[in-house]
Amino acid sequence: MLVSFSVVPIGAGEELKELIAKLVPVIEKSGLAYKMGAMQTTLEGEPNKVMECIMACHGLMRSHAGRVLTHITIDDRQGAQARLEGKVQDVEAVLGRPVRHE
């Protein structure tokens, strides 16, 4: 399963990098494959472990902000594996060249 998510603290000001940086150790500790992007992070793994990681990130952010919005997009394809890299490689194969990606 691939899951992209973003955790947005409401009322925490305009600069969020310090708060977002607090989530990285939680993600790393999960042991899941991940890619951090400019607007979201994408995880790959078993559904329960992925959701546990996202909820841990949400909970941590909730401890720093009175209101938190967490957006989740799930790509759940039977039998699919290694899609974190594979989806981009598939598009590159069609184009016959590399593309810029996170």
- Does residue 85 lie in a domain region? no
Model pTM above 0.75: yes
Residue 68 lies in a domain: yes
Q: Is residue 51 part of a domain?
A: yes
Residue 101 confidence (pLDDT): 83
Q: What is the CATH number of the domain that holds 13?
A: 3.30.70.930
Contact 65, 16 (CB under 8 A): no
Say if 44 falls within a structural domain. yes
CA distances to 19, 53, 82, 98 from 85, rounded to whole Å, are 27, 20, 6, 12
Query: Can you list the positions of beta strands (E) in the chain?
Result: 2-10, 33-36, 41-44, 67-75
**Which domain covers residue 35, as residue numbers?**
2-77
In a domain, 100, yes or no: no
Q: How high is the pLDDT of residue 102? A: 79
Q: Provide mean pLDDT across the span 15-28.
A: 95
In a domain, 25, yes or no: yes
If one compares 84 and 97, the residue with the highest pLDDT of the two is: 97
Please give the pLDDT value at position 82.
Answer: 84
Residue 89 located in a structural domain: no
What are the tens digits of pLDDT across the range 27-57? 999 999 999 999 999 999 999 999 999 999 9
Tell me: the pLDDT tens digits for 62-83? 999 999 999 999 999 898 888 8
Residue 41 lies inside a defined structural domain of this protein:
yes
Q: Looking at the 3D structure of the chain, how many domains does it have? A: 1
pLDDT (0 to 100) of residue 69: 97
